[in-house]
Amino acid sequence: MSQLPNAHVDLVVTSPPYNLGIRYGKFSDRQDRQSYLQWSREWASQAQRILKPSGSFFLNIGSAPSNPMLPHEIVIALRDLFVLQNTIHWIKAITIQDREGDAQSHGHFKPISSKRFLNDCHEYIFHFTKTGRVEIDRLALGVPYQDKSNISRWRHTRGSDLRCRGNTWFIPYETIQNRAKERPHPATFPVQLAEWCIKLHGVSYVQTMLDPFLGIGNSAIAAQYCGVKRFIGFEIDKTYLAEAKRRLSL
């Protein structure tokens, strides 16, 4: 990233290693806390430098039930580089109980065996900008009103049956049968997550997009789906990079 010019990209969507001991191919995911936060600040400083003033930086980060403060500590470490404009909750699994008492479960989660902690069914997507004043396309991810009387009752609807989705995004993983063949990376976000970030920022405003931690290329595939003209990705693991290139060429 240090070789890219200032104010060069419109959008950054990424998910760095979480420092939770995940077994990557070419990266040690175990640092002491201060070293990890300093490293996070170093790469984020480069992202801040090459991001345009009108750009958005979407940072997906999760935690472990025994280590819940990590995402918040990263936000604090970056507070003099960016303004936190929105906090989005990526819901991986949820159980919804209707008014009749019937429960339905949706999504996928990794169960834990604990007498202290709940299963962790969500992660954060922090939306950073340089000013906190970047306009977004709220209705690009819009959903219809459940109560249709709101359409005529509320002036801001302007007669449209579409409202802001809000800051909770239910995006489950696709079911797979063989991780080695179908998802050969220990920590990926769904393509849809990156796609929604692109759409929220505004597809027409994204000429150049960056992912500093490409992995197997889900953000690049999302950029391809959305018609982003130029995508830049970095990956230190040649195996992951080869898989990303293979998937983009399908």
Task: Write down the domain spans for the chain.
Answer: 9-248
Per DSSP, the residues of 107-149 read E-------SS-----EEEEEEEESSS-----GGGG-B--SSTH
Nearest to 186 by CA among 167, 195, 199, 173: 173
Res 3: pLDDT: 95
Nearest to 208 by CA among 227, 184, 189: 227
User: CB–CB of 29/17 below 8 Å?
Assistant: yes
Phi, psi of 87 (to 5 degrees): -115, 120
According to DSSP H, which parts of the chain are helical?
33-50, 70-77, 149-153, 179-182, 191-201, 218-226, 238-248
Q: Would you identify the CATH topology of the domain 9-248?
A: Rossmann fold (3.40.50)
Give the span between the Cα atoms of 103 and 93, in whole angstroms. Answer: 13
Give the span between the Cα atoms of 71 and 76, in whole angstroms. Answer: 9
62: helix, strand or coil: coil
In the chain, the amino acid numbered 32 is D
Res 174: pLDDT: 77
Res 20: pLDDT: 67
In the chain, the amino acid numbered 180 is A
Nearest to 200 by CA among 36, 94, 57, 15: 57
Reading the chain (250 residues) residue by residue, the pLDDT tens digits are: 999 999 999 999 999 987 765 665 566 657 788 999 999 999 999 999 999 999 999 999 998 887 899 999 999 999 999 999 999 999 999 999 888 889 999 998 888 889 999 999 999 999 999 999 999 999 999 998 888 888 888 778 777 888 899 999 999 987 655 555 555 555 588 999 999 999 999 999 999 999 999 999 999 999 999 999 999 999 999 998 999 999 999 7
